[in-house]
Amino acid sequence: MAAYRISPALQRVLHAVKHAAFRSRCCIIVSRAQYSTVYDHNEKTFDKILIANRGEIACRVMKTCKKMGIKTVAVHSDVDANAVHVKMADEAVCVGPAPTSKSYLNMDAIMNAIRQTGAQAVHPGYGFLSENKEFAKRLAAEGVSFIGPDTHAIQAMGDKIESKLIAKAAKVNTIPGFDGVVKDADEAVRIANEIGYPVMIKASAGGGGKGMRIAWNDEETREGFRFSSQEAASSFGDDRLLIEKFIDNPRHIEIQVLADKHGNALWLNERECSIQRRNQKVVEEAPSTFLDPETRRAMGEQAVSLAKAVNYSSAGTVEFLVDSRKNFYFLEMNTRLQVEHPITECITGLDLVQQMIRIAKGFPLQHTQAEIPINGWAIESRVYAEDPYKSFGLPSIGRLSQYQEPLNLHNVRVDSGIEEGSDISIYYDPMISKLVTYGATRAEALKKMEDALDNYVIRGVTHNIPLLREIIVHPRFISGDISTKFLPEVYPEGFKGHQLTATGRKELLATAASLFVAAQLRAQKFLGDLRVSNTQQERRSWELCVELEKGVHMLGVSRSGFMTFILKVEIDGDKLEVSSDWNLASPLLTVTLNGIHRTLQCLSRNAAGEISLQYLGTTFKLRVLSKLAAALSVHMPEKVPEDTSSILRSPMPGTVVAVSVKAGDTVAEGQEICVIEAMKMQNSMTAAKTAKVRSVHCKPGETVGEGDLLVELE
Amino acid sequence: MAMAALAAVRRCRVLLHGAVKSSFRGSPSQPRSYSAGRLSVQERIERKRQAALVGGGQKRIDAQHGRGKLTARERVALLLDPDSFVEYDAFVEHRCSDFGMEADHNKFPGDSVVTGQGRINGRLVYVFSQDFTVFGGSLSGAHAQKICKIMDQAMLVGAPVIGLNDSGGARIQEGVESLAGYADIFLRNVMASGVVPQISLIMGPCAGGAVYSPALTDFTFMVKDTSYLFITGPDVVKSVTNEDVTQEELGGAKTHTAVSGVAHKAFENDIDALLNLREFFNFLPLSNKDPSPVTECHDPSDRLVPGLDTLVPLESTKAYDMLDVIHSIVDERDFFEIMPNYAKNIVVGFARMNGRTVGIVGNQPKVASGCLDINSSVKGARFVRFCDAFNVPIITFVDVPGFLPGTAQEYGGIIRHGAKLLYAFAEATVPKITIITRKAYGGAYDVMSSKHLRGDVNYAWPSAEVAVMGAKGAVQIIFRGKNNQADAEAEYVEKFANPFPAAVRGFVDDIVVPSTTRRRICRDLEVLATKKQTNPWKKHANVPL
């Protein structure tokens, strides 16, 4: 561990000293981004690159292009005409309407855009056309460089079956029970039985977790086959499937490789990506707490040997499953820049996008394996527009009415492609940003992540910060005791938000009461108004009643000081001193509670005393009332909420793919009623009780909004 | 003076005590240890005052609470700053001697209303709060007289009047005296109109002639599930028109805030309503002689709003939410919307710009494309006239495709109702700032606080289109029967679907980057703070009612 604690600045100096030609190089070190784009003016690079992607990754690629003096071309769908990546680019070309199959996957339109703008190379980002050999072929045919590996490597690694054969031949550990392409459900069941349960079913063409399902028995295999093939068809236009042995309780650790066109290849250490929900990564870190130097080297060397076996060039990622005994198995190779590449950049100081561009232009690698450091620790949280309280994250959409990245903090990097006012639409991935923090040690990086999440202002869409904030402080995560099952194991009942401790509760109550008092005091400040009472004494003490999670607390608040007043809050015999600048316009609320600094966010505050505070990531609803109002509120009639068990509403906006019932049918509890597709995820909606269907309010193909009535039961 | 203040404080202490505990030492049910004849004056004063505090007695107070409603005094205590209420006429009693009303047990000191003055966040306000526990809050001559007294005084000193209505109607035993009382109040409502703000909060029944007092005031708010407003109740409706209708359907909060437009907003319960009323009160000037209030503001006046640059969709047929524009421009996203559920194609309400109260009017493209129709015109007109009467600057966001066509509108009189909004904007002499965010088509362009109606500062966003009508309709008329409609449409769009035709004529003062709108408005309001403009002398104007 100690060996890694070389400061990044020192490392950059060491790096520079090693290179004799340093003086002729231009070194741009951006303190925020934690990677350096060191490039040689003598290296002739591309004049213009088209980025065949959108969102944060398009912006990420353009950042490096701009530093390297390369002109950029954005492509966009018509709804993305105002997107950040379009504004950032030197030129932009519209390639079609919103659905990705008609725009970002529309090869003809993108080829036209390349011809029209004269771009010499294309960076595909991740997803979309990044691992599409057809696209790479067409580019090659027109003499346009593809910033990525060549067609052969894409094809070899893109095919899950072939890739395993190659891996085996290259002496890479592979997963036992590996088998072939699946034709129908019966064959799926047969194969699954041959391998032995549990098995994993997924699309051959797709990377990541999309279309991947785990089956423990024949019935689940059939269901998994149906879902995976449908999803595979809608996402990749290729419904081939793959079934293989599922390794229980594994870690997901991947090795970043970098290879040039001259047969050189490097491994840039690992990324630990075990924290996943529905097989999609949520929190990643580099390095992994789990690997010892020997395992790391073994994995790195196997990764490099695989890359060499396919004549790989460019950046790529070799994914492994690692079991509890540090046995590792090859999972797949992603022949593109990974979403989570920033953490590797943080610990190695390399700019991977720059390296990809250099390699595509034909330059050899600048580094040797011995020069690849692990400097400090980097953590990445994927901030999504989704509701973490619904199966760890169901997509939400909306307009970012307020948006502020925590870039005021040092050692924080935010890769995003949206800004205040942007729409998160149903058409694309609901990722808001990748929040990366860095520190000399893991503890430092984690502390920074806490601060960064607390300071991240996102309004207008539901987001997963509550979940992220809980993961990074969970004792199991902190001790490194994680696996891909972390979330379902830690939250078997589903994620319920932060559970307040006694101290936390007091801090929250004191903050809410203080905010209430600050607002009350300000409401009396009429400027230049001669008609405000002079005979009324300004109040110095309040008796308040604060409701929180159905508990009612009596608080005494007293005030000292005038402009930047300090409030003393008494709760159940405890005294807290609360100070702040009491800026009621700022979405962030920085308070000092008995000397401890906390950043909370005030999400809403109304005249009736209701205050929503984001505290330690989770939103808490409080109500602050004067003693009098609280005493009288016992007389207020209770409003009865609507009974929802007989009503099925859409949990998210999306498209109805299938409706399995009609009015008059009897459904059993848990039976599928309809399927909603949102952001390419198919979600099966089930009955909450056994009942007769009264009416069906949706039909396949229809678009529904969050909360729309789908089916009514009797 | 000092004595009076001291007495007021004492009264309030007792009042708060009574309100919290809902119990009372001198309650009539307790045994009396004295004989009335031998009471000293001091004791009699104390007894009467105590009796006034419990209104109709504990039983009726409990019944009131049982209905989910607070008592008249509890409401006053919640509405006003602590210890600030100064009560008038606690000793007034009704004068009716018929039907046994003269009996001692039918006399209640203060009768069925609590009146007085107090402070909301330090600012003066006159309040009456009808007491349902005394004769169902019915209106006697004395009750009316008490209300008239505080209204007269409010006019004299220039302070708003808030009425908390909870009354079964006229005191039938008093006959015409009760009716006279209503008329006295109506007259004062009319006289005070435009002099001091008048606010009604309906917190129980309000039926028959009584409804006209709230109707004459500037704002009528209701409490959901426990308040009703109607001319005649469900029973009479059944007997006359044979319609079956519940109280709630006929005159509940939902009906009046969404269907009839009689009420301006509804709140969950008594406490919610009163706390919101305090918040609302802070937006209002105290009288027509007072400037629009300015409060301490933490939101920088020069704050840029980058989100606005991409808010208006590129396709002019696509909707967006005007509330997004309003929330992001005003101070602290704090917008008190008036009539949020009625005629939603126009948005009106109060907000602050750099601390100063402003009235916001905006077409809402999300609802019926933001067109003007009968209801939205009347809603907008009434709001604009309130702002003008009380020196509140008006900021208008325009995205209007025109007036809504159709027989329903024409038969309903869209011509004369639309004229009201036109009239209101034209007549207004307060600072008027207009931002055309997208469409400003046809007559509706003129209406929406255009330069021609004395708009002080008129801006256009780059997405603005000021024209007689949209491209398609225009081309069909200009090039009727010609074949090259598509080309003509393109030409029309090129020529008119942009802010230039208005800008080159000076009909908009500038084309502004949307993200800078807040900054510009704040600066303009500072400049316009000293604006003085008067209309020609007239007895009163003749607004097309």
For A542, which residue in chain B has the nearest alpha carbon?
A: B82
Q: Give the number of beta-carbon pairs within 8 Å between A and B.
A: 132
- Inter-chain CB proximity B226 and A585 less than 8 Å: no
pLDDT at position A222, please?
87
Q: Residue B415 — φ and ψ, nearest 5°?
A: -65, -50
- Inter-chain CB proximity B294 and A535 less than 8 Å: no
Q: Which positions in chain B touch A81 (Cβ < 8 Å)?
A: 314
pLDDT at position A208, please?
55
Of the pLDDT bands very low, low, confident and very high (cuts 50, 70, 90), residue A20 is: very low
For A639, which residue in chain B has the nearest alpha carbon?
A: B268
Give the number of other Cβ atoms within 10 Å of residue B239's Cβ: 10
Instruction: Identify the H or E element spanning B378.
Output: helix B374-389
**Phi-psi bin for B313: left (phi > 0), alpha (psi -120 to 50), beta?**
beta
Of the pLDDT bands very low, low, confident and very high (cuts 50, 70, 90), residue A30 is: very low
pLDDT at position A466, please?
97
The secondary structure of A13-74 as a DSSP string is HHHHHH-GGGGGEEEEEETTTTEEEEEETTS---SEEEE---HHHHHHHHHHHHHTT-EEEE
Instruction: Identify the H or E element spanning A229.
Output: helix A218-236
Cα–Cα distance for residue pair A36/B25, rounded to 1 Å: 80
pLDDT at position A148, please?
94
| Interchain CB contact of B2 with A (< 8 Å) | no
The closest alpha carbon to A78, from A104, A113, A51, belongs to A104
Q: Say whether pLDDT at A15 is over 50.
A: no
Q: What is the mean pLDDT of residues B427-444?
A: 96
Six token digits for residue A400: 């970012």
Output the average pLDDT for chain A.
87
- Inter-chain CB proximity A527 and B308 less than 8 Å: no
3-state helix, strand, coil in chain A (%, to 5): 30, 30, 40
Q: Which of A81, A420, A527 sits opposite B294 (nearest CB)?
A: A527
Maximum mean pLDDT: which of A148-152, A637-641, B450-454: B450-454
Q: What is the mean pLDDT of residues A528-542?
A: 79
Q: How far is B124 from chain A (nearest CA, A)?
A: 8
- Inter-chain CB proximity A523 and B327 less than 8 Å: no
Does residue B494 or residue B304 have the better pLDDT? B304
Q: What is the mean pLDDT of residues A670-678?
A: 79
Cα–Cα distance for residue pair A396/A428, rounded to 1 Å: 11
pLDDT at position A1, please?
34
Q: Give tens-digit pLDDT for B473-495.
A: 888 888 877 778 888 888 888 88
pLDDT at position A613, please?
97
| Interchain CB contact of B378 with A (< 8 Å) | no
Task: Indicate the residue type of A152.
Answer: H
In Å, how far are A605, A612, B285 from A587, measured between CA atoms?
A: 11, 11, 28
| Interchain CB contact of B100 with A (< 8 Å) | no
Q: What is the mean pLDDT of residues B340-360?
A: 97
Maximum mean pLDDT: which of A38-42, B100-104, B227-231: B227-231
Q: Are A681 and A669 in contact (CB under 8 A)?
A: no
| Interchain CB contact of A564 with B (< 8 Å) | no
Least confident residue range of A387-401, B62-76, B410-424: A387-401
Residues 6+ apart with CB under 8 A from B317: none
Cα–Cα distance for residue pair B480/A281, rounded to 1 Å: 60
Which value, in Å, is the radius of gyration of the alpha carbons in chain B? Answer: 27
| Interchain CB contact of A481 with B (< 8 Å) | no
pLDDT at position A432, please?
96
Share of chain A above pLDDT 70, in %: 90
Cis preceding linkage at A653, omega within 30: no
Q: Give tens-digit pLDDT for B256-300.
A: 999 999 999 999 999 999 999 999 999 999 999 999 999 999 999
Q: How far is A607 from chain B (nearest CA, A)?
A: 5
Residues of A annotated as catalytic are 336
- Inter-chain CB proximity B74 and A529 less than 8 Å: no
Q: What is the mean pLDDT of residues B346-357?
A: 98
Cα–Cα distance for residue pair A50/A58, rounded to 1 Å: 10
Least confident residue range of A41-55, A107-121, A239-253, B168-182: A239-253
Least confident residue range of A3-7, A271-275, A542-546: A3-7
Task: Indicate the residue type of A29.
Answer: I
pLDDT at position A242, please?
77
- Inter-chain CB proximity B5 and A535 less than 8 Å: yes
Q: How far is A148 from chain B (nearest CA, A)?
A: 33
Give the number of other Cβ atoms within 10 Å of residue B485's Cβ: 14
Which residues 612-631 in chain A show a CB within 8 A of chain B?
Answer: 625-629, 631
Of the pLDDT bands very low, low, confident and very high (cuts 50, 70, 90), residue B377 is: very high
- Inter-chain CB proximity B276 and A419 less than 8 Å: no
Of the pLDDT bands very low, low, confident and very high (cuts 50, 70, 90), residue A674 is: confident
Q: Which of B65, B279, B290 sits opposite A531 (nearest CB)?
A: B290
Q: How far is A388 from chain B (nearest CA, A)?
A: 25
Long-range contacts of B51-54 (CB under 8 A, 24+ apart): B51/B26, B51/B108, B51/B109, B52/B90, B52/B91, B52/B108, B52/B109, B52/B110, B53/B14, B53/B15, B53/B18, B53/B24, B54/B18, B54/B24, B54/B26, B54/B27, B54/B28
Q: Say whether pLDDT at A191 is over 90.
A: no
Q: Give tens-digit pLDDT for A139-159.
A: 999 999 999 999 999 999 988
pLDDT at position B525, please?
97
Q: Say whether pLDDT at A235 is over 60.
A: yes
Q: Which of A527, A627, A637 sits opposite B225 (nearest CB)?
A: A637
Task: For residue B545, give the DSSP letter.
Answer: -
pLDDT at position A76, please?
96
Q: Give tens-digit pLDDT for A572-594.
A: 888 999 999 889 999 999 999 99
Q: Are B306 and A638 in contact (CB under 8 A)?
A: no
pLDDT at position A237, please?
65
Q: Say whether pLDDT at A705 is over 90.
A: no
Q: What is the mean pLDDT of residues A238-265?
A: 86
If 0-12 CB within 10 Å is exposed, 13-18 middle and 19+ buried, where does residue B207 land?
buried
Of the pLDDT bands very low, low, confident and very high (cuts 50, 70, 90), residue A681 is: low
Q: Say whether pLDDT at A397 is over 90.
A: no
Q: Say whether pLDDT at A469 is over 90.
A: yes
The closest alpha carbon to B173, from B106, B220, B124, B127, belongs to B106
- Inter-chain CB proximity B16 and A81 less than 8 Å: no
Task: For residue B404, give the DSSP letter.
Answer: P
Which value, in Å, is the radius of gyration of the alpha carbons in chain A? Answer: 28
The closest alpha carbon to A292, from A597, A4, A491, belongs to A4
Secondary structure in 3-state letters for B260-300 = HCCCCEEECCHHHHHHHHHHHHCCCCCCCCCCCCEECCCCC
pLDDT at position A18, please?
40
Which residues in A596-659 belong to E strands, given as ranges?
A: 596-605, 610-615, 618-626, 647-649, 654-659
Least confident residue range of A122-131, A634-643, B151-160: A634-643
**Alpha carbon A556 to chain centroid distance?**
42
Cis preceding linkage at A287, omega within 30: yes
pLDDT at position A533, please?
78
| Interchain CB contact of B494 with A (< 8 Å) | no
| Interchain CB contact of B366 with A (< 8 Å) | no
